[in-house]
Amino acid sequence: MPRTSGGAGSNGAAAADEALLSIGAVLGRLRDEFPEITISKIRFLEAEGLVEPQRTPSGYRKFSAKDVERLGYVLRVQRDHYLPLRVIREHLDALDRGEQVALPGPAESRESLDAPAAAAAAFDPEPPAELRIGREELLAATGADGAELAEWESYGLVKAGRDGGYDADAVQIARLITDLGRFGLEPRHLRAVKAAADREAGLVEQVVAPLRRHRNPQTRTHAETTARELAELSVRLHAALVQSALRTRLR
């Protein structure tokens, strides 16, 4: 028997439609955990094939609960593990097949000035190559636009590698620049911070350079250990000096 317009089948279809969310509603659901999320970023992740919302006859996107869950997973592993979209896509495919996915250890968290040693503990002179991401991925991870990234690069705050990709350090720096921007600090204001960092790195390099040129592999390994220790001490000293200066000025 054909279903009437007021029958159970019609109610079921209506319930299914109500379960689907517009892109604006998805944005609202994700913003609590990901304040930097934008509609443009959701569209970018769709264009990269990480989520495939349904389309209405008029072309509007409609997201299911599973779509929102996938978006949350993508944003979470980008934020916490700096995984490139290619790897995230492989993870999603594996999860769709019911397989377990092993994630790398959490990325270095933001450290307070009261615990600077922990920030320096993750110092690595050669970040893992697999953490490199492309320009569009960096923009998506930070919520910045191309003009902002170009400005960061013009001041030497963020730099792409020879392959045009960005490593985990660049991602973290870009996010910190974005956070500082909320307080009105522009890239031009951060030139002094960059100059101070370059000078500190230069001091470390002067100490370890003779060790790195040594023929003995053990001595070269010792150079890396020494650089790590010096980086930690340098970061701790820098944080202590900033704390001391602020306490003096805010009294």
Task: Tell me which H or E stretch contains 92.
Answer: helix 85-96
Angle, helix 217-249 to helix 191-212, in steps of 10 degrees? 150
Confidence of residue 172 (pLDDT cuts 50, 70, 90): confident
Look at residue 243 in the predicted model and tell me its pLDDT.
83
Kindly state whether residues 243 and 180 are assigned to the same domain: yes
The string of pLDDT tens digits covering residues 106-115 is: 544 343 333 4
Kindly state whether residues 121 and 230 are assigned to the same domain: yes
Domain assignment present for residue 106? The answer is no
Report yes or no on whether pTM surpasses 0.85: no
What size, in residues, is the chain? 251
Residue 23, domain CATH? 1.10.1660.10
Amino acid present at 179: D
Kindly state whether residues 169 and 123 are assigned to the same domain: yes
Domain assignment present for residue 81? The answer is yes
Top-confidence residue, 219 or 180: 180
Which of 33, 61, 96 terminates a domain? The answer is 96
Kindly state whether residues 135 and 241 are assigned to the same domain: yes
Burial status of residue 220 (CB atoms within 10 A of its CB: 0-12, 13-18, 19 or more): middle
Q: Is 8 a residue whose pLDDT tops 60?
A: no
Kindly state whether residues 160 and 245 are assigned to the same domain: yes
Residue 55: domain span? 8-96
Residue 125, domain CATH? 1.10.1660
Phi and psi at residue 21, in whole multiples of 5°? -115, 145
Kindly state whether residues 57 and 123 are assigned to the same domain: no
Domain assignment present for residue 3? The answer is no
Kindly state whether residues 140 and 211 are assigned to the same domain: yes
What's the structural domain count of the chain? 2
Domain assignment present for residue 200? The answer is yes
Kindly state whether residues 79 and 120 are assigned to the same domain: no
Kindly state whether residues 121 and 82 are assigned to the same domain: no
